[in-house]
Structure 1
Amino acid sequence: MLLVTHNYNLLLIGVLSAANGVLDAFTSPALRGLVPELVPVDQLRKANALVSSVRNGTKIVGPALAGVLVATVGSGTAIAIDAVSYVLAAALLGRLHVSTSIAPRRPGVLAEVRRGWKEFRRIRWVWAVTVSSALMNLAQVGVWQVLGPELTGQSELWGAVLSVRGAGLLVMSALMYRLVIRRLLATGQLLSALGALPLFALGFGVQPGWLLIAAFVAGVGFSISGVAWETSLQEHVDRGMLSRISSIDELLSFVAIPVGMVVVGPLAAVFGAGRVAVVAGGCYLFAAWSSLLSKEVRGLRGV
């Protein structure tokens, strides 16, 4: 409404963005806990692969559709249509009827937080992967989002890189619907290291074709690791604690992102953007495989 009525206000936009972040922090763990209530446990991998396919498909179609809307009806109307899509999503979720056997507990928020933290610490493979994810985010997100456009030097090329990575995500999500992998979590962690390839490609300044290939392969790695993590949590964590543990996982995994985005600029100014990208790729590779030092991660089997 602010943009359509030409009443843009940076402070108010910031407040609304913060509120959106708060709501998203509720939504993501809740949805992760919702999937096991909708499908049998032996169908969780397929369900997560299907959800991932749709999500990744929208990452490819969405920007193109947005461009068409901006060109035809204007940016304000395009954002208004985007807002309506959230209302439609809420209506669809509101139609879900979930019957659960989990008994409600009301001991208080702080008591529930302590209970969730105790359970999180108890499951070694969960916190091993969470720490690994935090280190990966620290190494990758800042370089990718801040230095990536600068190192490519062409907005068209950077747009192609993002689109190709999305295609890799989509292709692997579709394949995960069919693949049966017994040690799913370990496989996901092993292949998550593919995300280091575009960082190396950016740092070494390879030809655009090789950068696009690296981005596609990284998308494949991100997709399989994401589905593996979602499915492993849903299969092996008590349903009454699933969303709670997911919220702790996301808090610890994402807390490193703003740190990485803040420090990457000064580091690039001192050491050079290419060198920082290469070092970040090495750190990402180490972080991705660090969780495999845990025998619980290596030995966890899918249902």
Structure 2
Amino acid sequence: MTVAIYLPLLLALPLALIAPRVAARGAPGPAARALAATAVVAAVSSTWSLTMLALTMLDDVPPLSALDDSPTLELPEPVPGPIALVAGIILVWGGVRLLADARRRLGTHRRLRAVGQVQDGLVIADWARPMAVAVPGTVGRPGHLLVTTGILRLLDADERRVLFAHEQAHLEHRHHRLVAAAAAAAAVNPLLIPVRDAVAYLVERWADEVAATRVGDRRLTAKAVARAALAGSGPEPGPALGIDGGAAVRRVRALGQATPDRLRRRLIVPALLAAGFVAVAAIATEAFVDLARAWLN
């Protein structure tokens, strides 16, 4: 087996390192899409590499094990057994993490859909906890917004416009799919956790920018985000306007600046890494096929 089989596992490191820098500059929409797509490519490539490594353990299973000990055959040696075993364990662990993440995400969506009756795309829950969330739809059932009386009391009329515009942007642009894709990639390859976090931040910045455009006031949008951040800083924080600790400070600062440019050049490195994942996975697959043919013929 060539060294290419290990490269998809290692290339996740530079992707994780550049993700925060990509998220910090330019328009959030293109960056969110690019990072989520690259994370999926990275996860699929690394999973396939682990699968090929784990499959080399089959040379210890009869009748292939007999061929391995034959002095008349000169068969190519697969990877060392311990490496193949570790690859198999990591593969199973990643699968368990992926199933757990999917189960948790689907369960959360199911509970949110059951909160109340949707009227005009909105559910208002009589909860003191300040909370606002875009609830994804299902087949035959469109998504809707869920807000609590706690967040409505916290914000004034203008800030509520920001709230609804922000959450509606999540629905319209299907941000939950990007977040779920990046989370799934990080579940099977934990090296991609910084990419998952960058995508989660970017979709909130994306919704902020949409809200600022629709209400026509970046300062008002920043004020609404800041107020929601203060409400969520208590002992039981609630997900109002996607607030998540220090990310709120960065979002408020970004809204205090001019509308960001697209800056497509910052997406060149993720694109090159995605191409690199595909290339090395293809090279590794070719080497694996040659090895399998040698053993099976």
Q: Which has the larger radius of gyration?
A: 2
Q: TM exceeds 0.5?
A: no
Q: Indicate the TM-score class for this superposition, using the shorter chain for normalisation.
A: under 0.3
Tell me which protein shows more helix as a share of its residues: 1
Tell me which protein shows more strand as a share of its residues: 2
TM-score of the superposition, structure 2-length normalised?
0.25
